[in-house]
């Protein structure tokens, strides 16, 4: 199968680099390396040893933001910034890490307690000041503004000394994940620490490469153990990380299924109590199944629909019911789309392979067998318009296999009649306020389409 590429393959795409040390903090004992203060007035800098790091004419310091920005030749960034080389464009890119202040190198961990003395605001201000020192032209115009701001912060030199002590170095995403996983795996870590690690991982794995790196580092196994935890918060957060990691990431989907993620998820889904855990686990299951017939087949053969139907029956509120029905609808239409695509596209080998894989997913038969033709109509009893709409769409998608059962389902027939009246009435009032073709009209159309099929 095409998808069976190495987990690490994607990781090479973005080569993460150590930040350049221009305009940065160097050595533990040495002072901050900044461009010489042109007027010598600034904050008693005269008696502090400063040195010119780079020719000031050539240097433009970019202030990183949360988004990646491309660096032009000659531009520098403050130490602690996140710099990477985009191998596709050949450009260096920079952004400020949310993590920026948190990551020290191994050998300077012991200075971590200093962290509390530098607030992110202090740091931002310090960076701004450093930039100004490097851009003397702008300095005068900004002076008044910064002076008023300055009074709210500690003296720059004090900050510089603290920053110098910290010896901030850049950590790449790969290094960050390695450290997070080591901490997560350490028997010393508390549950609180593990939860915050999972939160950081969840943020990181949205990047396709990071998610793949996470599995090549053995992170998947740790996440699955987290899912198995007796602590529901760990279960919830682990499911969240797993779901985000497999979302739109075929390589990780494959790895996850190979690692037994589906069985673990289904077990948790069948046993977990709190709704919030079930929601996140369902999210992970849906992400694992999406566009991945291989896992859909596993899901069916491991009793996935059985687990979902227990969940559906037990869910009074309808939140889970709606998510389940939406998931089934997505699976049906996904398969449908693949088979329809064959009608008007030139068939290539990969398409045939996909059609073949989907043909092995006996979804329709299983839905029929497991009683979904009578379960999904129950969602129409919900009072939420959105839930009803989702139910109607799924009922239409399932109509080819369920039609006989629909026709015998007197409560479905009754629901459709009363919903039609209700929504038609609402459409009337929508028209009065001039909102034709609104949402309710759409629902009426869905009801009509279903009634038409059932005739």
Ligand X SMILES: *[C@@H]1O[C@H](CO)[C@@H](O)[C@H](O)[C@H]1NC(C)=O
Q: Which residues bind ligand X (CB under 6 A)?
A: 181, 185-188, 218, 222, 224-225, 228, 264
Considering the complex, state which of residue 77 and residue 261 has its C-beta at the smaller distance from ligand X: 261
Half-sphere exposure of 403 (CA within 13 A, CB side): 10
Question: Long-range pairs for 196-201 at CB < 8 Å and ≥24 separation?
Answer: 198/223, 198/226, 198/234, 198/237, 198/238, 198/240, 198/241, 199/237, 200/99, 200/176, 201/177, 201/241
Considering the complex, state which of residue 224 and residue 324 has its C-beta at the smaller distance from ligand X: 224
Where is 16: in which H helix or E strand? Answer: strand 14-17
CB 9 to ligand X: min, Å:
19
Considering the complex, state which of residue 181 and residue 412 has its C-beta at the smaller distance from ligand X: 181
CA 379 to chain CA centroid, Å, is 29
CB 345 to ligand X: min, Å:
41
Lookup result for tokens 């200093």: 114
Q: Taking Cα atoms as reference points, which of 163, 79, 170, 169 lies closest to residue 114?
A: 163
Dig out the tokens for 66 from the structure: 């949360």
CB 30 to ligand X: min, Å:
32
Considering the complex, state which of residue 132 and residue 236 has its C-beta at the smaller distance from ligand X: 236
Query: How far is residue 273's CA from residue 287's CA, in Å, rounded to a whole number?
Result: 21
Q: What string of H, E and C letters represents the secondary structure of 293-304?
A: HHHHHHHHHCCH
CB 230 to ligand X: min, Å:
11
- In eight-state DSSP terms, residue 11 is G
Considering the complex, state which of residue 225 and residue 330 has its C-beta at the smaller distance from ligand X: 225
Considering the complex, state which of residue 228 and residue 411 has its C-beta at the smaller distance from ligand X: 228
CB 181 to ligand X: min, Å:
5
CB 306 to ligand X: min, Å:
18
Considering the complex, state which of residue 34 and residue 242 has its C-beta at the smaller distance from ligand X: 242
C-alpha to C-alpha distances, 409 to 112, 193, 373, 375, 454, nearest whole angstrom:
67, 52, 9, 11, 11
Dig out the tokens for 147 from the structure: 């002076």
Considering the complex, state which of residue 221 and residue 357 has its C-beta at the smaller distance from ligand X: 221
CB 320 to ligand X: min, Å:
22
Whether 440 contacts 416, CB under 8 Å:
no
CB 217 to ligand X: min, Å:
6
Dig out the tokens for 233 from the structure: 């918060």
């Amino acid at each position: 199968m095409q998808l069976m590429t190495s987990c690490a393959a994607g990781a090479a795409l973005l080569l993460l680099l150590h930040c350049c040390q221009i305009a940065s903090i160097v050595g533990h004992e040495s002072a901050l390396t900044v461009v010489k203060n042109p007027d010598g007035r600034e904050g008693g800098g005269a008696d502090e040893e400063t040195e010119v790091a780079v020719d000031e004419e050539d240097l433009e310091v970019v202030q990183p933001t949360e988004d990646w920005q491309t660096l032009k030749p000659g531009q520098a960034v403050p130490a602690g910034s996140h710099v990477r080389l985009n191998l596709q464009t050949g450009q260096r890119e920079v952004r400020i890490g949310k993590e920026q202040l948190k990551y020290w190198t191994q050998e300077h961990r012991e200075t971590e307690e200093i962290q509390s003395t530098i607030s992110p605001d202090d740091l931002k201000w310090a960076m701004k000041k450093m930039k100004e020192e490097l851009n003397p032209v702008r300095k005068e115009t900004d002076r008044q503004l910064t002076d008023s701001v300055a009074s709210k912060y500690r003296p720059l030199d004090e900050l510089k000394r603290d920053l110098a002590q910290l010896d901030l170095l850049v950590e790449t995403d790969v290094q960050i994940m390695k450290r997070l996983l080591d901490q997560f795996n350490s028997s010393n870590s508390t549950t609180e620490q593990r939860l915050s690690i999972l939160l950081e991982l969840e943020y990181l794995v949205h990047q396709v490469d990071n998610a793949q790196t996470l599995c090549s580092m053995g992170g998947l196994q740790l996440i699955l153990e987290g899912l198995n935890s007796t602590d529901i918060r760990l279960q919830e957060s682990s499911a969240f990380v797993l779901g985000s990691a497999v979302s739109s990431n075929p390589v990780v989907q494959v790895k996850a299924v190979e690692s037994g993620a589906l069985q673990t998820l289904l077990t948790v889904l069948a046993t977990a109590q709190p709704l919030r855990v079930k929601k996140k686990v369902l999210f992970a299951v849906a992400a694992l199944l999406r566009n991945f017939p291989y896992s859909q087949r596993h899901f069916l053969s491991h009793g996935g629909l059985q687990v979902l139907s227990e969940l559906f029956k037990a869910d009074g509120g309808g939140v889970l019911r709606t998510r389940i029905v939406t998931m089934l609808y997505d699976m049906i239409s996904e398969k449908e789309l693949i088979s329809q695509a064959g009608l008007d596209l030139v068939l290539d080998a990969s398409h045939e392979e996909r059609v073949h894989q989907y043909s092995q997913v006996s979804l329709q038969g299983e839905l029929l067998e497991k009683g979904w033709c009578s379960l999904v109509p129950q969602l129409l009893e919900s009072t939420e318009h959105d839930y009803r709409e989702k139910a109607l769409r799924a009922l239409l998608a399932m109509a080819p296999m369920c039609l006989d059962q629909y026709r015998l389902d007197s409560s479905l027939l009754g629901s459709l009649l009363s919903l039609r009246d209700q929504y038609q009435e609402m459409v009337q009032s929508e028209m009065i306020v001039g909102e034709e073709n609104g949402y309710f009209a759409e629902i009426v159309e869905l009801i009509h389409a279903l009634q038409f099929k059932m005739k």
